[in-house]
Amino acid sequence: MTPAAPPPPVISIVGRSRSGKTTLIEKLIPELVRRGYRIGTIKHTHHEVRSDREGKDSARHRAAGAQTVVLASEGEIALFRNAAAPRLEALLRYFDDVDLVITEGYKREARPKIEVLRRAAGESELLCRNDPLLVAVAADQPLAAPVPVFSLDDAAGLAGFIVERFFGSRAAGRTPPEDTAR
């Protein structure tokens, strides 16, 4: 029996609501994919997750009492599971086929964090300034911080920082995925 591979590294993008976390992640993913990394994401939310429309078969399965429902089609799988809000660690078992997991949220988890600060939205203080796991900040203005600060528009620079931090010398042999559009 082959031992299970260790879970991939996790970096959490944190910040206040509407600070630009999702937008930054949308910029980071293609930068990291272009460098040859397979990326998974987890979005933490405090809102109810509405995963299916009423009347659809999977919603009917859940309404009938199924604890777990999987929708499977050619090239895509969706999992719906009745559960209490799991800790991040419990979710990582679903990411055995990626090189890096980027979370949006999870600021209280003991994981490296990049905080997004948007002074244009009236933010002036870092939420995680005293968190020893804060590794970088992405901001819309220059900022004095105890960690490297990147512009919100510098996804390439931030991706390079992430690659160096998590993959170091192992990043050198990485080749971007082949262009299949040809």
Domain membership flag for residue 138: yes
Whether 45 shows a pLDDT value over 50: the answer reads yes
Of residues 119 and 148, more confidently modeled: 148
Least confident of 115-124, 145-154, 165-174: 165-174
Per-range mean pLDDT, top range of 33-37, 60-64, 75-79, 168-172? 33-37
The per-residue pLDDT for range 7-29, each reduced to its tens digit, is 899 999 999 988 999 999 999 99
Whether 41 shows a pLDDT value over 60: the answer reads yes
Mean pLDDT score, 119-128? 86
Domain membership flag for residue 106: yes
Domain membership flag for residue 39: yes
- Euclidean distance between CA atoms 123 and 88, whole angstroms: 27
Domain membership flag for residue 150: yes
Label the pairing between strands 10-15 and 100-104.
parallel
Mean pLDDT score, 139-164? 95
3-state helix, strand and coil shares in percent for the chain, rounded to the nearest 5: 25, 25, 50
Domain that holds residue 37: 10-46+84-171
- Euclidean distance between CA atoms 58 and 86, whole angstroms: 22
- Euclidean distance between CA atoms 2 and 47, whole angstroms: 39
Q: What is the pLDDT of residue 177?
A: 55
Domain membership flag for residue 133: yes
Q: What is the pLDDT of residue 155?
A: 97
Residue 94 is part of a domain; what is its CATH number? 3.40.50.300
The per-residue pLDDT for range 87-100, each reduced to its tens digit, is 888 888 889 999 99
Label the pairing between strands 76-81 and 68-73.
antiparallel
Q: What is the pLDDT of residue 181?
A: 42
State the total domains in the chain: 1
pTM: 0.83
Distance of CA 142 to CAs 18, 24, 118, 139, 163, Å?
19, 17, 11, 7, 23
The percentage of residues in the chain with a pLDDT greater than 90, rounded to a whole number, is 47
Dihedral sign from CA coordinates of 104, 151, 136, 99: positive
Domain membership flag for residue 2: no
153: tokens are 């528009």
pLDDT interval class at 174 (50, 70, 90): low
Domain membership flag for residue 75: no
Whether 57 shows a pLDDT value over 90: the answer reads no
157: tokens are 């620079």
Domain membership flag for residue 16: yes
Place of tokens 């300034």: 129
- Euclidean distance between CA atoms 33 and 179, whole angstroms: 12
- Work out the number of other CB atoms within 10 angstroms of the CB of residue 23: 14
